[in-house]
Amino acid sequence: MYLTRKLIFALLTGQEKFAGKLRWQGVCATSPEALSRLLKKHAPVLGKVIFETGALSCFLYHGLLRRGLPVSCICARHAKGVLSTRLNKSDVNDAEGLLARTGWYKTVHIKDRNTHLDRTFLRVRHQLVKSHSDMVNQLRGLLKLFGLKLGQVTTPGKRHKRLFYLFRQEPALEPMLVPLITALGALEQEICKL
């Protein structure tokens, strides 16, 4: 669980005397549920919840949106550029002067949850394929140090036959390379599943 220490403003619609005024300041767990409870407690009539892009912005955006809060995510780089002109730059001062009062911000599009699930699947597969390629290249490089060539083996069965032949030439290598070969086999199984 992460902790957020920023000022939270309620820009109240219909009650102009409170518009842009500080309603609460403190520490809150960074979860949509905790933020939603806190915002509803301290600002029952809420104009908009605004936060900067970051590692948890997608999680917070969709969580707050599901709880019926009017939420916008703004570009952190743009916010940094505007807020960097302030003399006392800190998280607290940034939150207090956060562009929600002035309207000087760019709203960013947060992708749908299903899009992120699809991208997660593709990234996991990409990482496994990349790791597999790196490990095969590492195996080839280690064998070359001893004058042994793995050759063009594209399937695990052919690779095992070739390694069996190479290990007969240099038996001391086998116990050292077995963990790498075992890990390659596990990676290939996971890639096939995907």
For the chain, the structural domain boundaries read: 3-110, 114-193
Residue 26, phi-psi category: left (phi > 0), alpha (psi -120 to 50), beta (remainder): left
What is the Cα 151 distance to its own chain's centre? 38
Residue 13, phi-psi category: left (phi > 0), alpha (psi -120 to 50), beta (remainder): beta
What average pLDDT does range 46-56 have in this prediction?
A: 79
* Highest mean pLDDT, choosing among 35-44, 63-72, 134-143: 134-143
Reported as a pLDDT band with limits 50, 70 and 90, residue 1 is very low
Cβ distance 12 to 47 under 8 Å? yes
pLDDT at 155: 82
Global pTM? 0.68
